[in-house]
Amino acid sequence: MDHTNQESYGNVPEPTSHASSGPLLVTKFLPPASSHEIIARPHLLALLNTGLHRRLILVSAAAGFVKTTLLASRASSFAPGHPPVAWVSLDASDNTPFQFWTYVLTALEQCQPGLSRLPFTSLHDALQPCYQVMLTDLINGLAQQSESLVLVLDNYEEITEPTIHAQLALLLEHLPPTLCVVLSTRTDPFFPLARLRAQGHILELRTAQLRATREEMTAFLRDVMKLRFSEQAIQDVDARIQGWWAGLQLTALAFKEQAPRKICFRRSRELCRLCTSTWCRRC
C-alpha cells in the first residue's frame, strides 16, 4: 500500500464527546493481510485499474470470494505515481453517520493532509453535525485537488443505516474525478445504481468475475498447496465448488492433511459444515 497510508494521525482533529464511544481503531485503516496464500490474478487487477477513472467500483459477491484479498493486493501493489489508497474496514459499530464519516474523513486525511479540515469542522464543531455542509465541503475540497485518491470501504454490508446510504449516494452523484470510491460488500448497497450504470460511472465485479477459473484452481492446488491432483480430480473439484475460493482452500487443506488417494468429499467435514449446497448433503 502507498506509504501515505502509514503516516501519523496527528494532523487529524480529535472527535468531540458526541462523536464516538472512544478513539479510532488504527488497524481499520490498514488493508488486512490474507491468512491464506493466494495466486496472482493479473486480469482482475488490470480490470480494477480500468475502473479508477469512474466514480464507483462495486465488488459484490458472497463470503469466500476473496474480495478483500483482491483489493488489499491491489492497494499494496500500487507503484509510485498511482493514486494513494484510503482504506476503511467497516464493522457494525460504524452504523451511525457520525462514526462512519469520522472514519472516512480520517482515512482521506491520511492520504491528502488538509483535505478533511473543513469537513471535520462541520462534523465535529457543531452541537448537531450538519452532514449536508460536511459533504459540500468534502466535494469542494476534492474538486480542488490536483492528485487523485481511491477510497476503499470494505465490508459495506455492515452498513444498514438508510441515512448513510443516502449521504453516500449524494457524494457519488456529485463526486469530482479526483476520487474513486470502491465498495466491497456481500450484498448490493441500498442506493440506486441505475443512474451510475447509465452514465458509465460504475465498474461492477461480481461473482462471475471473481470465481476461480480452471487455470487458477490448477495453479493453486499444484503450485501453492503442492497437491498432485490429476486433471480429472481438478474437474471434479471444479464441478462441486464452482469457483468458490473458500471452498477450494478448505478442500485443499483437508486433502493436504489427509492425503487421500482419490477425492472423497465425505472426508472434508469442515467444508461440508460451511457449505449448504446440495452436493454436500449428498456426500
Residues 221 and 113 in one domain: no
Helix or strand holding residue 60 (H, E)? strand 56-60
Residues 218 and 201 in one domain: no
C-alpha cell at position 168: 453516500
Spatial CA neighbour of 89 closest among 35, 36, 31: 31
The answer to whether 184 and 117 are in contact (CB under 8 A) is no
Report the chain's C-alpha Rg in angstroms. 21
What is the four-CA torsion angle of 20, 25, 29, 31, rounded to 10 degrees? -130
Last residue of a domain, one of 210, 238, 259: 210
CA 110 to chain centre: 18
Last residue of a domain, one of 210, 234, 257: 210
DSSP alpha helices (H): ranges in the chain? 42-50, 67-76, 97-111, 117-124, 131-143, 162-173, 194-198, 207-210, 214-219, 231-241, 245-258, 269-274, 278-282
pLDDT of residue 182: 97
C-alpha cell at position 13: 482533529
Last residue of a domain, one of 159, 184, 210: 210
Residues 183 and 261 in one domain: no
pLDDT of residue 129: 85
Spatial CA neighbour of 129 closest among 99, 91, 157: 99
Q: The domain containing residue 278 runs over which residues?
A: 214-282
pLDDT of residue 79: 59
Residues 43 and 165 in one domain: yes
Taking the chain (283 residues) in consecutive chunks of 10 residues, what is each chunk's mean pLDDT?
Answer: 35 40 87 72 88 95 90 76 90 95 96 93 81 95 94 97 96 96 95 92 94 86 82 84 83 71 44 41 40
pLDDT of residue 37: 59
Residues 138 and 200 in one domain: yes
Residues 99 and 196 in one domain: yes
Spatial CB neighbours of 30, under 8 Å, sequence gap ≥ 6: 1, 5, 87, 89
The answer to whether 63 and 246 are in contact (CB under 8 A) is yes
pLDDT of residue 259: 53
Spatial CA neighbour of 150 closest among 216, 82, 215: 82
Number of C-beta neighbours around residue 230 at 10 A: 10
Residues 160 and 68 in one domain: yes
Residues 164 and 231 in one domain: no
Q: How many domains does the chain have?
A: 2
pLDDT of residue 80: 61
Residues 162 and 253 in one domain: no
**How many angstroms separate the CA atoms of 155 and 269, rounded?**
28
